[in-house]
């Protein structure tokens, strides 16, 4: 089983001609309420890829909670460990101007009240994979990682959004996930020289940390390094419509195929395909592909993709 310990948000999105200046009111479009949060995103992506998934997260005692959980509920993600804590659900207030540029105000809401002890509602074991991100309190995520490691579970840590995680904390993760920018940020934080490209930086991080490090590289696919081995997989050749959630898709689908017993290379290939497919539709969670679509696209020759 895959257990996600992380954030649950609702995104309130409104389009405007231009971003308001201080004191200015501008007309906007009808708003959209879109489920989000990196934890919920990864849980949904893994579930749609066919895995059994449990979500450990927190929502508030407000009307937004149901909207934030809608996609997880319809997909059959196990929400038995979800808690209601505090008055508000996490919310990202997003304005998008005519150029596609956005401004975001993130209110953590109940995410700030998630505790590592909430993980105890589930019985973890050596056959489980635990996914962690950076949108709930870091101390609670690290304590959750300690509990998961004590239970023998594998731990995947997604350093997104980037926070300066110390070397000792990174040692608790079996797999560290970053994008190319986060890889360079992490290398600098650890006093390492970032390489000329993402692959070189990943190799440097893996050698220094003694852990498998995987970086998503956008249109260039993904690369992993660890144990003296480097794996590179391509993305699909697509015309991107909206890249929101592509990294979370990669993380969730990677966990799903590892949970099935696939090799790291095979799991990365399916994850890169899924991340590409997620970029062909608007929105994050609504764009996450189902298992059949992932495997059909992965089996096509590149010229037919």
User: Does 248 qualify as catalytic in the annotation?
Assistant: yes
Burial of 56 (0-12, 13-18, 19+ CB in 10 A): buried
Distance CA 211, CA 278 (A): 28
Helix axes 198-209, 180-189, angle to 10 degrees: 40
* Rounded CA separation 298/305 (Å): 8
Q: What is the dihedral of CA 109, 111, 116, 119, to 10 degrees?
A: 120
Catalytic site residue from 11, 248, 259, 299: 248
Q: How many CA atoms are closer than 13 Å to the CA of 129, on its beta-carbon side?
A: 26
Alpha carbon distance 81, 95 (integer Å): 32
Single out the residue of 142, 163, 145 nearest to residue 154, CA to CA: 145
Give the residue numbers marked as catalytic.
248
């Amino acid at each position: 089983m895959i257990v996600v310990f992380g954030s649950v948000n609702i995104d309130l999105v409104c389009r405007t001609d231009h971003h308001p200046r201080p004191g200015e009111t501008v007309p906007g479009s009808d708003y959209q309420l879109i489920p989000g949060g990196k934890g919920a995103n990864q849980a949904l992506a893994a579930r749609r890829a066919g895995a059994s998934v449990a979500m450990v997260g927190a929502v508030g005692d407000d009307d937004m909670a149901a909207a934030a959980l809608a996609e997880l509920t319809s997909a059959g993600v196990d929400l038995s460990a979800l808690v209601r804590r505090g008055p508000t659900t996490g919310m990202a207030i997003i304005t998008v101007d005519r150029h596609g540029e956005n401004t975001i105000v993130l209110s953590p809401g109940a995410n700030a009240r998630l505790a590592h002890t909430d993980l105890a509602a589930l019985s973890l074991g050596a056959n489980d994979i635990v996914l962690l991100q950076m949108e709930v309190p870091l101390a609670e995520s690290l304590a959750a990682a300690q509990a998961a490691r004590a239970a023998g579970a594998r731990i995947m840590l997604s350093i997104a959004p980037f926070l300066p995680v110390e070397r000792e904390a990174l040692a608790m993760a079996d797999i560290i996930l970053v994008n190319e920018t986060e890889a360079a940020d992490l290398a600098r934080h650890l006093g390492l020289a970032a390489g000329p490209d993402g692959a070189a930086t990943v190799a440097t991080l893996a050698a220094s940390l003694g852990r498998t490090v995987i970086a998503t590289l956008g249109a260039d696919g993904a690369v992993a390094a660890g144990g003296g081995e480097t794996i590179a997989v391509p993305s699909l050749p697509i015309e991107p419509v909206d890249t929101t959630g592509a990294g979370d898709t990669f993380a969730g689908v990677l966990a799903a195929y590892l949970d099935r017993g696939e090799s790291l290379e095979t799991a990365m290939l399916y994850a890169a395909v899924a991340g590409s497919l997620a970029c062909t539709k608007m929105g994050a969670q609504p764009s996450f592909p189902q298992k059949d679509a992932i495997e059909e696209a992965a089996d096509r020759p590149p010229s037919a993709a």
